[in-house]
Structure 1
């Protein structure tokens, strides 16, 4: 009698791509790895509007065009980010989710992070979800992942001077101004304000700005990015 053995099962997604397990949770809000199911929902959200027609908060005007063109721009960008990820140059894109609905995206990116310990954050929310405090919460959550989960020493961000919402969130959290850049935006000059927040400033944030955050799946991501092992815990405000 000939015995047979079952072939090895297909590896779970997280075994091949550990980023799929990343989750950052605070209350009813969650940052979750942007898989294709969430990505198509995000693209539809962008197609419904990200800002008023007379504004442009982005250097590259990907929000211009028909709803279908905007949605396709989101898909193409996100698929491209995945394909270029490496320990030396990476961008982690996380869907902002509440009650099972995608509200926007929160990203963190770095080059030579194992050497410099510096990273940058960026984000956007669907127009219908703006002005309700979500922007501040999701920024605090990604900073918790950056400093407490990944061991960052410095976090930077930027926003055009005529983007009061983004600038307001940044200043509220405690970033310091870090210079200004004159850039071209849709064929006209514009000024982008740069900000910096270091680990010392993050550690002394007021209790009201340090909500309880739970991290999931971070250790495997640290390994994937070439970072030393670190125990991840649930950390309350202090």
Structure 2
């Protein structure tokens, strides 16, 4: 079986409301369709990357290429896990976590997007909560980092709600214009009191070596 050689498709994080996992090929096509219909609200520019503001065709292709690239470029020393967010079995967006030299640094950087039709439903908060459970309870992360432009109120609200603390401001270039980026950090000691017992991880043990972690005996 494919998962004997590449176990990541068997990794799943479930909450009572949604699931995070890698998509099948038909589900990936559905995710691309979602991106083509829109990712950002009109008049907003919350992402540094240009892909979300491109044409519908290019948005869809960017989602496909990002998925394939993350898997093709994966190494235990430098990885990016782009988990699709499923609500009632349908893709509604992506919640990612990535790390460099994770075995030593134990730090992850997260990012996310939702189809514009799913904004304002609390799914972003629930998806990041699930991702943090994977990071801290599953992978043994010590710090989780998030960064948002200072006018991205929705992302900043999620960070604050989940207990992240400000971690400095950076001067940034947003599509040729100056912008400020606010960094946030959530350490394990601050996450532990918020740990939820209703989140379940499956399929993590076979993936340990891919994350640079010791393989359980």
Indicate how the Cα distance of structure 1 residues 30 and 57 shifts in structure 2: closer, same or farther if over 3 A, else same: same
Residue of 123, 128, 139 corresponding to 2:128: 139
- Residue number in structure 1 paired with 2:214: 228
Separation in 2 of the partners of 1:230 and 1:152? 17
Deviations 1:150-181 (A, max 9, x none): 01011101111111110000000000000111
State which structure, 1 or 2, has the greater radius of gyration over its C-alpha atoms.
1
Instruction: State which of 73, 78, 81 in structure 1 corresponds to 2:67.
Output: 78
Root-mean-square deviation over aligned CA pairs? 1.5
1:179 maps to 168
Please report the TM-score for the alignment, with normalisation by the length of structure 2. Answer: 0.95
Q: Which has the higher contact order (CA 8 A, sep 6+)?
A: 2
Equivalent residue for 2:199? 213
Q: Residue 94 of structure 1: SS of its match in structure 2?
A: strand
- Corresponding residue number in structure 1 for 2:180: 191
8 Å contact kept, 2:102–2:212? no
Distance in structure 1 (CA, Å) of the matches to 2:175 and 2:207: 37
Measure how far apart 1:202 and its partner are: 0.5
Given that residues 95 and 127 in structure 2 are in contact (C-alpha distance below 8 angstroms), is that contact kept between their aligned partners in structure 1?
yes
Deviation at 1:225, TM superposition (A): 2.3
- Measure how far apart 1:130 and its partner are: 1.0
Paired residue total: 217
1:1-238 matched pairs, under 5 angstroms: 12-205=1-194, 210=196, 212-229=198-215
TM-score (norm 1): 0.87
